[in-house]
Structure 1
Amino acid sequence: MQYKTKRVPFELKNFDQETGIFTGYAAVFGNVDDGGDLIQPGAFTKTLKHNKDRIKICWQHDPYSPIGKPIEMKEDKKGLFVKGQISNTSLGKDVKILLKDGVINELSIGYDTVKKEWKDGVRHLKELKLYEFSPVTWAMNDEALITSVKANEDIKEVLTKTIELLDRLLEKTEVKEKDSSELEMERLVTSIDSLEKNIGNKLKKAN
């Protein structure tokens, strides 16, 4: 597993600058993001059950700059609902002002992918281990860098599956298995088409 981050528009529902308490959504289900990922409902169920007390609120994903703690986290039909409290430290006070003024309006989650499934060029994230979520500054260059890294991972994943399909085809040398081999060939062609489309999309977004 590899630690990753994912930025989403910060849907700030309520914010009390005095107490530092805010509510919003750290992740939304069912939509394909710019990185080609789709978070499925239930992706956070296990991590909220077993890892909830260790999840923190950080500033810009810096583990040495924790700024608060979650008060409530739960999945609903829309996504991962969070209620958090920003601590009254010097950094926390600055963050509260930035949130109130709307300077910071994006949230990013830090996570590991535990279970995923590849479908039609989209990576379905079925289970995630959540470590933290952070208020972040929007930055196009950072997004392009993240997209580039994700593209390399996607290419490796599709190539691995393509090689596996080729190995199975080579093993099937008997004529009686012709129908099965043709089916495998169709799957191979589909995987290659998906790879070509994914590479093109990732390169466009990275540039």
Structure 2
Amino acid sequence: MARDIHIAKPPLETKRAPLPAAIGADGAFDGYASLFGVRDACGDIVERGAFAASLRRRGAASVKMLWQHRAEEPIGVWTEIAEDARGLKVRGRLDLSVVRAREALSLIRAGALDGLSIGFRTLRAASDAETGARRLLEIDLIEISIVTFPALPQARIAVSPALAAPPRHAAAQLAQKLANMRMQFATRRFEATLQRLAAE
């Protein structure tokens, strides 16, 4: 039996969730930042309508596009965010004047980076004692990030073969290697942070 829980001062949460998406040469892409009715690795299920009130209050322009949930690293803008029958459908554009956004585009083309993840506060949830799942009924959507590790296997950005073509010259190859090295460093830092939080 589910029990409805109202949270007075909700903490900021992040969640990787299913989203097929494709990215263009100019950094524009569509996708899904969340799917309804799908249980994730954290044991949460986002219910249809969970984002509706937040989207009415904020609109797409107020939801930040971040790199790996880092508030200090915005890398583009969300131009459209809306619920449909499937989930939270998004349209965004990387700002290619930002170095990190260019690196993200390169890594997406290389197949090294392919996830989306939401950062949110839970305003209302239902706890299911039988399954242990938490059903998210109302979410305050803060940001949507491009991430390395989505919580679900299907949380990926699908890249067209044309965009995945290898670089044509040495400078582009060097830039891609540098982006990969920075990505590896970010991954190690993320893992170290998780270990530190677990030890506290």
Identify the TM-score tier after normalising by the shorter chain.
0.5 to 0.7
CA–CA separation in structure 2 for the residues paired with 1:10 and 1:57: 15
Match of 1:33 among 20, 40, 46: 40
1:7 aligned partner = 16
Give the CA deviation at 1:10: 4.1
Please tell me the residue identity of whatever aligns with 1:123: R
Please list, as runs of the form range in 1=range in 2, the aligned pairs for 1:38-117 lying within 5 A after superposition: 38-52=45-59, 53-88=61-96, 89-117=98-126
Contact 1:9–1:105, Cα closer than 8 Å, also in 2? no
User: RMSD of aligned C-alpha atoms?
Assistant: 2.2
1:122 paired with 2:133, answer yes
Q: Which runs of 5+ in 2 are unaligned?
A: 1-9, 152-189
Please tell me the residue identity of whatever aligns with 1:90: V
Name the TM-score, length of structure 2 as normaliser: 0.67
Contact 2:64–2:78, Cα closer than 8 Å, also in 1? yes
* TM-aligned CA distance change 1:38 to 1:50, over 3 Å: same
CA–CA separation in structure 1 for the residues paired with 2:150 and 2:84: 29
Aligned length: 144
CA–CA separation in structure 2 for the residues paired with 1:76 and 1:139: 21
Deviations 1:23-61 (A, max 9, x none): 000000001111111100000001111012310100011
How many percent of aligned residue pairs carry the same amino acid?
34
Contact 1:10–1:105, Cα closer than 8 Å, also in 2? no
Q: Which has the higher helix share?
A: 1
Stretches of 4+ aligned residues off by more than 6 angstroms: none
Q: Which runs of 5+ in 1 are unaligned?
A: 150-207
Q: Which of these two proteins has the greater Rg computed from alpha carbons?
A: 1
Give the CA deviation at 1:8: 2.1
